[in-house]
Structure 1
Amino acid sequence: MNLLWLTIVLPLIGYLLLAFSRGRWSENLAAAVGVGSVGLAALVTAYAGMEFMENGRQAFSLPLWTWMSVGNFHIDFTLVLDGLSLTMLSVVTGVGFLIHMFASWYMRGEEGYSRFFAYTNLFIASMVVLVLSDNLLMMYLGWEGVGLCSYLLIGFYYSDPKNGAAAIKAFVVTRVGDVFLAFALFILYNELGTLNFREMVELAPAHFAAGNNMLMWATLMLLGGAVGKSAQLPLQTWLADAMAGPTPVSALIHAATMVTAGVYLIARTHGLFLMTPEVLHLVGIVGAVTLVLAGFAALVQTDIKRVLAYSTMSQIGYMFLALGVQAWDAAIFHLMTHAFFKALLFLASGSVILACHHEQNIFKMGGLRKSIPLTYASFLVGGAALAALPVITAGFYSKDEILWGAAAGGHNILMLAGLAGAFLTSVYTFRMIFIVFHGKEQIHAHPGKGITHHLPLIVLMILSTFVGALIVPPLAGVLPESDFGHDGKMALEITSGVVAVVGILIAAWLWLGKRRLVTAVSNSAPGRFFGTWWFHAWGFDWLYDKVFIKPFLGIAWLLKRDPLNGMMNIPAILSRLSGRGLLLSENGYLRWYVASMSIGAVVVLALLMVLR
């Protein structure tokens, strides 16, 4: 485990080599460096994981150097490997490697091929820093690094202004959450004198025992940072527009790794949240509301990637719900399985997009199951896992653990929201599959070829089945034990399975047999209203435009003339005006002097009469 630092250095070296090559390398060499560096990091992770298991799953700390030391402020650059960070690190490097391999096929012929891998390598390095940090400030370094890479990759096709606008939107909205996280850092250091995760949990009970409410503010700020990065209500608006980037970016950053960083943050600081149960319950509420709202939004989307984007919001909502009901293991378990099947679905959607000549509108596709059979199989397996099809998919086991945690903890409303979300997920997922792969063929598709296309899809397909559910994250001793018992669990599992199957059957009935009914409903007045409302994600963009953007632009318009500088000119303006007034009284006209004296005399006499 002393080689753990290589998981950061290897992709960082790959980034530097690709960046300094300035695009002069061939695509094969750029792919070898970009994919190879992440593959080597994955091998180091596997080696470190085996050592971790052999050493009895004891947490391992690797001090590298002192990062900051000013007075009492002391921050070490130390890496920590425990069950939680190992799980997340395995997802980042393992799934990240498969996505990089697929990207080497997907990005062929694109301008900026080496630039793409430079950005993704920097992202992997930043994400590993975030995951392996032993303190909140070092995590914040990785947190900002992945935010920068997200901005660069969303705006990768920068020649289109819409892509640049999407990148700016993502950067600004997530920065709002990052400011909240910075506030949390200030509060916690001011109160506890440390940012080390272990020390904070040890010091917090004694320090905040006297009714100090600053811990509540700190955890609220941590939650604010988490909802920004993980695209949860109310900072969820950026994720759908982030689909402007290349599809492998959507798989890597906006499905499998970066957007789950908020879940990881809350899990890592769980000791603080357990001391503020009101905030922890709010975490669950945020997740439940987000998963339902995102489910309805996904139900009416026409862009294949935006369907998956809203699905990602919804699934991360399940993770937040699990954290809120203290089903810690279930949250991380679903984080892992979600990385498998959502990466699969995004990569498969990329295969569809290239096969259909960069077409992304699902209603312009159709009947593709025969022309691209491997991609069709990938969508079936990934879609079944997303819909939590019983027994055979990984998503069933992780999602049911979340629902059981909510039910066993007495959070019945959250559990019902989870079931409603499961039903919506089944409907919109198979709506997409039936529209794209069944019915009349509207476009001639060319299947992807080569091992770099086939192998990632096949491996992720296997991991999205019950095989992936056999991988149990080693979380014992890291997160609190969540023993909810088993009374009634079987009934809930059957209910959840029935909900998933019914959703699939309804989707088949509507989009395979009763398309006229769907058209009639969508063309009705209520259908148009709700369809438009959900299509625009419940109008949050419109609301934020009116409440924040327009006032900001108005203030900017006022300030562009520099009113402060104008205020500095007020004495000079008053001096000029007074000078002109005095010039009127000394104009050299005799009649003006006689008239002014007469008026003055009248005013004086009037005042004397009034005062009398």
Structure 2
Amino acid sequence: MTMNDTWFWINLAWLLPIIPLVVFAVTGLFTQKNKPLTLGLVIGSFAVDAVIATGIAYEVYVQKAATMLAPIEYGLTWIKIPGLTIDLGVLMDPLTAMMLFVVTVISLLVSIYSIGYMEGDPGTPRFFTYLSVFVASMLILVLANNYFMIFIGWELVGLCSYLLIGFYYQTFSAAAASQKAFLFNRIADFGFMVGFFLLFAQFGTFNFTELAEKIPTAEGTLFIAIAGILVFVGPIGKSAQFPFHVWLPDAMEGPTPVSALIHAATMVAAGVYLLSRQFVLFQASEAAMTVVLVIGAFTSIFAASMALVNNDIKRVLAFSTLSQLGYMVMAVGLGSMTAAMFHLGTHAFFKALLFLGAGCIIHVVGSNDMSQMGGLRKHMPKTTWTFLIGTLALCGIVPFAGFWSKDEIIATAFTNGHYFTFVIAEVVAFMTSFYMFRLVFRTFFGENKTDKSRHLHECPATMTTPLIVLAVFAIFGGFVGAPFIQNGFASYIFYGQAHHPEANWFVICVSTIMALGGIFLAYLIYYKKAISAEAIAHRFSGIYTILYNRYYVDEFYGWVFHKLVLGFSKFCKFFDEVIIDGFLDFLATVTKWGGSRLRRTETGNLQTYALVMFAAVIILVLWKAIPMLGGI
């Protein structure tokens, strides 16, 4: 392990996954019956990690940024045989530092929030133990300096999501949702694995730095296109892009803090992070970039349309996450990993805020259904205002964080001449504002439809304090990438040459008009009641039904599974049991029957053998004599 004495916090980066892994082992084996100790150990480990990650960010962005001309790598050799070397290494650059800060800070806030949310749940120690290994897995993924190591973290994150989504495994829906997430991610991960093994077969290394030097030598080849698309299949599953998006809305069956963690800073962000980490691979193939762009753009508008009619507050946010991830993937396809990672960072904070705010609402109301809410602003002022801040950030209203990062993506599409993509992005911006303020007006305003037996109140400080902290990030977090900030986000997070589109007033005006238009339409329908939502749903009942049923994609997959997969499996079973086993059983029966008959000839009696021989001689004589007699 080679370290540079110049860096203090960066030299401690290897501890980031180790600390929560050790805590996972301790809490999992020894402290499950001691809830306060378990919670203290997990939250304490997250706090230490957040301090280290903040120190790393300071060294990378403030103290040493000017001299950090190349990534810093250190580690040790894990496997070394002729033709194969695999390291357990740390790759530190501004991209890593940014992800470490986002993951550790949001994990800490979610764990503090969970103290109040999980109060009274007998499975709380198990929940915090799962959180610990989940965060450790994500940190392994972020720090990895090679494909093999990142794949370990990638799979561990998938396993932990299975455990957390299915936390309430006693219910069928939670168990089914966890299996669904696990299955779709395993299918996607197979494509990812084939892709990076192809790269290893071609270039002889898993190391990202070495691949960054070798991949451009094969730029534009069919091999690079195939390898890039196969590697992209992994992020399609992990970041829930079409057609593997179906697991994410059902992941809402897990506890709400899990939704905040999975949908904001960890699992779904891993796909976009991988695209950015290996941007050199996708940039080397125009075909691969086109596939990434098309999938991202389609997913953004596809998911946003489903959020327009859903009544489950968490699923609306889940579809929103799908749509925003589509924005990020689209940014990579447009050639700007800077815009993609900028939006990933801001989105992580305001989407975590929205999910945790939704958790507060569900905690008090006892339901996910927006039709059973209303008027909550009078009873939950902190939740209301922080949720509204998160919503404004998501809608891209100036000066909130989402305005700077989302407009960066839209401006990239416009300035690069992708006008159709630009139109899609603007339509999605309108839809986002509409469905989010539909949620706000139905939840916090209007008539209170909550069960009258429930006592409506603000949540405890353990739950509202993280909301306030996240709201600060949602307000000010976007300024790190504002066009007028020198040495801002684009000065650090880039591949090749730093690029940052200047403020485009046409794009800013169009985006603002679209966002305000969506808010105004939601205001007319759900606040002023000037337009009847029921009448619109009735008039466009066909479209409404399709959107409400998520375009029947789940049903299609169900048909494929039950009719094709299970049908083919039943045919294989029939062929195996009836044809193959039946034929072999027939041979065995005939052999057994013949053996039982032949066995009677083996008596061990000398007189019997002499009699058989005498009979055989007579038969042979007759066989030869009869033809001769016939000729006389």
Q: TM-score, normalised by structure 1?
A: 0.90
Q: How does 1:148-547 map to 2 (within 5 A)?
A: 148-206=159-217, 208=218, 212-356=221-365, 358-389=366-397, 391-443=398-450, 444-470=454-480, 472-473=488-489, 476=492, 478-481=494-497, 483=499, 485-486=501-502, 489-514=504-529, 517-524=532-539, 526-527=540-541, 529-547=542-560
Conservation of the 8 A alpha-carbon contact between 2:107 and 2:261: yes
- Deviation string 1:121-180 (CA, Å, 9 cap, x unpaired) is 101111011011111110001000100000000000011011000000000011111001
Conservation of the 8 A alpha-carbon contact between 1:223 and 1:283: yes
Conservation of the 8 A alpha-carbon contact between 2:241 and 2:322: yes
Tell me the CA shift for residue 36 of structure 1: 1.1
Tell me the CA shift for residue 260 of structure 1: 1.3
Quick one: which amino acid aligns to residue 94 of structure 1?
V
Residue in 1 that maps onto 2:580? 567
Q: How does 1:66-215 map to 2 (within 5 A)?
A: 66-206=77-217, 208=218, 212-215=221-224
For 2:499 and 2:57, the matched residues in 1 are separated by 26
Tell me the CA shift for residue 81 of structure 1: 1.2
Quick one: which amino acid aligns to residue 52 of structure 2?
V
Quick one: which amino acid aligns to residue 463 of structure 2?
H
Over 3 Å counting, the alpha-carbon distance change for 1:220 and 1:366 in structure 2 is same
Give the RMSD, CA atoms, in angstroms: 2.2
- Deviation string 1:215-247 (CA, Å, 9 cap, x unpaired) is 111100111111110000111010000000000
Over 3 Å counting, the alpha-carbon distance change for 1:47 and 1:558 in structure 2 is same
Conservation of the 8 A alpha-carbon contact between 2:263 and 2:351: no
For 2:80 and 2:565, the matched residues in 1 are separated by 39
For 1:30 and 1:187, the matched residues in 2 are separated by 43
The answer to whether the aligner puts 1:48 opposite 2:56 as a matched pair is yes
Conservation of the 8 A alpha-carbon contact between 1:256 and 1:342: no
For 1:94 and 1:468, the matched residues in 2 are separated by 16
For 2:559 and 2:38, the matched residues in 1 are separated by 45
Give the one of 564, 580, 588 matched to 1:551. 564
Conservation of the 8 A alpha-carbon contact between 1:328 and 1:480: no
Quick one: which amino acid aligns to residue 502 of structure 1?
G
Over 3 Å counting, the alpha-carbon distance change for 1:31 and 1:562 in structure 2 is farther
Q: Which one is further off, 312-321 or 529-538?
A: 529-538
Q: Which runs of 5+ in 2 are unaligned?
A: 1-9, 482-487, 594-632
Conservation of the 8 A alpha-carbon contact between 1:14 and 1:37: yes
For 1:56 and 1:579, the matched residues in 2 are separated by 82
Quick one: which amino acid aligns to residue 194 of structure 1?
T
Residue in 2 that maps onto 1:592? none
Q: Which runs of 5+ in 1 are unaligned?
A: 581-612
Residue in 2 that maps onto 1:7? 16
Quick one: which amino acid aligns to residue 11 of structure 1?
P
The answer to whether the aligner puts 1:38 opposite 2:46 as a matched pair is yes
Tell me the CA shift for residue 71 of structure 1: 1.5
For 2:130 and 2:490, the matched residues in 1 are separated by 31
Conservation of the 8 A alpha-carbon contact between 1:329 and 1:475: no
Quick one: which amino acid aligns to residue 427 of structure 1?
F
Conservation of the 8 A alpha-carbon contact between 1:103 and 1:248: yes
Tell me the CA shift for residue 392 of structure 1: 2.2
Return the index of the structure with the highest Cα Rg.
2
Q: Which one is further off, 543-552 or 501-510?
A: 543-552
For 1:541 and 1:96, the matched residues in 2 are separated by 31
For 2:169 and 2:354, the matched residues in 1 are separated by 25
Conservation of the 8 A alpha-carbon contact between 1:366 and 1:435: yes
Conservation of the 8 A alpha-carbon contact between 2:79 and 2:87: yes
Give aligned pairs, total.
573
